[in-house]
Amino acid sequence: MKWRAATLAISLLAWPGQAAAEPKQWQQGKGWGWVWGEGDQVGALNEMGPASILKAVQVVKEGRVCDLGITYDRTSFKWPGHSPGEILTFRSPEGVLRQKDLPFTLPEKGNPSLTTWHSNALFINDNVATQIDGLGHVVVGEDNHWYNGFKEEDWGGNWGIRKAGAENIPPIVARGVLIDVAGYKGVEALPSHYAITPEDLQGALARQGTNLQFGDVVLIRTGTLRYWGETGADHDKLRQHDSAGINLEAARWLVEQQGALMIGSDTSGLECATAPPGSASFIPVHVYLLIEQGVHIAEFHYLEDLAAAQAYEFLYVAAVNKIKGAVAGFALRPLAIR
């Protein structure tokens, strides 16, 4: 295939003035798999370290920060397999003073200023808004296993999973690369169920003049989130484009040939929503990345500002909520610093 011939040239190019990164476990043509040992819960992100982080920060030239998070509320669009969320007022100034159930809030108990507060109760899915799928998110096989062979019968639970939960995702600091496939195709957003191929990724990178490097966080723009608005309330418009995404061959190319540390997009599911005929799963890219390769998936990352600025490389910084047993870091606010 033509794209494989160009792979080595892209993979082995060093950043200007820098030596090529030295992988710890990754092998070109193979990727990772379960290479980090029995019990590992981190996957490919084990490749990060002081040397890679020091190298990544050198991409910052202007000191500009781009917010990659989207605003979520109860009306927001979501993938149909996830529950909706509700944000409920638990304590309000009116309620505190009316209920009088907390003695320290009463004027006669030392609160003559009537100091009160707001607090909310959240009933929310751990896969909403801007998120990073954890390695325990997807399960496959008759034995119900996820990454590193962890099985439901051993490590499932009523209060969240007990291995490879999202609390194990370390803070991510890496070189980020935007691949603007919508821009390459000359459309506002890719059409429904468009399958992004390795050739599409190669063409977009060539158009941008961007080289991939081992250890990159790769973010792929379909254009879907240009329709998010304030809180993603236009479900019909978002659904029309949200089904576009990479196919399995594109995922393999990014991982096995380029050494992508994490792969993400501006959609709810990264991959094309229509699995090819004969596929063993309705989400083969998730199975491949999360279970077989231990590569995290970034979803609903807002990429419109980066594309408008033609900012194709940047420092990517993200840290997930440390909620034990969650299967994704959710409602995040990752940053692209350029």
DSSP characters for 128-179?
A: -SSEEE-TTS--BTTTTB-GGG-BHHHH--BTB-SSS-GGGPPPEEEEEEEE
Q: Determine which helix (DSSP H) or strand (DSSP E) holds 86, and give its type and residue range.
A: strand 86-91
Whole-number pLDDT of residue 51: 95
Q: Output Rg (C-alpha) for the chain, integer angstroms.
A: 22
Q: Is the pLDDT of residue 21 over 70?
A: no
Whole-number pLDDT of residue 85: 87
pLDDT band at 18 (very low <50, low <70, confident <90, very high): very low
Q: Is the pLDDT of residue 17 over 80?
A: no
Euclidean distance between the first and the last CA atom of the chain, given in angstroms as a whole number: 34
Task: Write the pLDDT tens digit of every residue in 82-101.
Answer: 888 899 999 999 999 999 99
Q: Is the pLDDT of residue 71 over 70?
A: yes
Asked whether residue 118 falls in the same domain as residue 240, the answer is no
Distance from chain centroid for Cα 323 = 17
Number of domains in the chain: 2
Q: Average pLDDT of the chain?
A: 93
The domain boundary residue, chosen from 70, 98, 123: 123
The phi and psi torsions of 305 (rounded to 5 degrees) equal -70, -40
Average pLDDT of the segment spanning 15-38: 80
Average pLDDT of the segment spanning 228-250: 96
Average pLDDT of the segment spanning 30-51: 97
Asked whether residue 209 falls in the same domain as residue 100, the answer is no
Asked whether residue 60 falls in the same domain as residue 118, the answer is no
Asked whether residue 209 falls in the same domain as residue 114, the answer is no
Asked whether residue 117 falls in the same domain as residue 211, the answer is no
Helices marked H in 231-277: 235-242, 248-252
Asked whether residue 192 falls in the same domain as residue 312, the answer is yes
Strand pairing partners for 66?
Answer: 336
Q: Do 3 and 247 touch, CB atoms closer than 8 A?
A: no
Asked whether residue 23 falls in the same domain as residue 118, the answer is no
Task: Write the pLDDT tens digit of every residue in 135-162.
Answer: 999 999 999 999 999 999 999 999 999 9
- The DSSP line for 288-302 is IIIIII--EEEES--
pLDDT band at 7 (very low <50, low <70, confident <90, very high): very low
pLDDT band at 4 (very low <50, low <70, confident <90, very high): very low
Whole-number pLDDT of residue 81: 87
The single-letter code of the amino acid at 326 is A
Asked whether residue 218 falls in the same domain as residue 300, the answer is yes
Longest Cα–Cα distance in the chain: 80
The structure tokens 């609390």 sit at: 167
Dist CA 297 CA 288 (whole Å): 11
Whole-number pLDDT of residue 84: 82
Asked whether residue 114 falls in the same domain as residue 213, the answer is no
Task: Write the pLDDT tens digit of every residue in 241-274.
Answer: 999 999 999 999 999 999 999 999 999 999 999 9
Asked whether residue 100 falls in the same domain as residue 206, the answer is no
Give me 83's structure tokens.
């529950």
> Which domain covers residue 13, as residue numbers?
2-79+126-337
Q: Hey, is 303 helix, strand or coil?
A: coil
311: nearest Cα among 276, 285, 336: 336
Q: Do 132 and 169 touch, CB atoms closer than 8 A?
A: yes
Give me 328's structure tokens.
């994704």
Whole-number pLDDT of residue 9: 38
Dist CA 235 CA 22 (whole Å): 44
Torsion of CA 216, 217, 222, 224, to 10 degrees: -160
Q: Is the pLDDT of residue 2 over 50?
A: no
Asked whether residue 72 falls in the same domain as residue 100, the answer is no
Whole-number pLDDT of residue 15: 37
Asked whether residue 119 falls in the same domain as residue 211, the answer is no
Residue 236 belongs to domain with CATH number: 3.50.30.50
pLDDT band at 20 (very low <50, low <70, confident <90, very high): very low
